[in-house]
Amino acid sequence: MINNKLLDCQEMFRHACAFAETADLATGKFKHDTADISWYTTPAAVNSAFACEVFLKSILKYSDIDFKKQHDLKGLFKLLPERIKTFVKDTAAVNYGGNWTNWAGFEYLDNVSKAFVDWRYCYEMDWGKIMSVRMETGFLTAFRNALREASCQLFFQMTWEEYKQ
């Protein structure tokens, strides 16, 4: 008997991986003769955030946890089963200098939670009303990679390193 839910989650995983890899291309490998690489920070962040969203939703679907259509990474993260949440939090923190919070005690996840929504149309922002614009893109990448690892282990019973061979 075919487990359709598992197949759906595996397909969601592959979809999220494609967005993650596109984000990596934008941050490190993509060059354009009329643009500085920093121009690609926003598309990379948007792709990373969307990859996070799909990884989170695939885990929630697999775990039979209902989630509303939303793009809020923190809200989706809070719904994860506790052992997966702990794994992702610990893994992301280790891969981001050992920290889940900044020097003031704020979670980095708060900073990137709405990156997909806020940054995909950043050209519409009223920059005159914004005092400071900062996104922890390094944390976003660490969080994304931790979610990818958790998803890979859950859906394929192997690590990301084993899977990508």
Statement: residue 151 has pLDDT above 50 = yes
pLDDT digits (tens, 9 = 90+) for 117-146: 877 776 666 656 554 456 788 899 999 999
pTM above 0.95, yes or no: no
pLDDT value, residue 68: 83
Cα gap 40→62, rounded to integer Å: 33
Question: What is the residue whose two structure tokens read 């949440």?
Answer: 85
Name which of 96, 103, 100, 57 is nearest 79 in CA terms.
57
Whether 109 and 136 have beta carbons less than 8 Å apart is answered as no
As a whole number, mean pLDDT of residues 31-51 equals 74
Helices vs. strands in the chain: H and E counts, helices first: 8, 0
Tokens of 138: 């390094």
Statement: residue 71 has pLDDT above 50 = yes
Question: What is the residue whose two structure tokens read 């695939």?
Answer: 58
Tokens of 153: 């282990």
Cα gap 88→97, rounded to integer Å: 14
Statement: residue 67 has pLDDT above 70 = yes
Domains of the chain with bracketed CATH = 4-163 (1.20.120)
Q: How many CA atoms lie within 13 A of 156 on its CB side?
A: 17
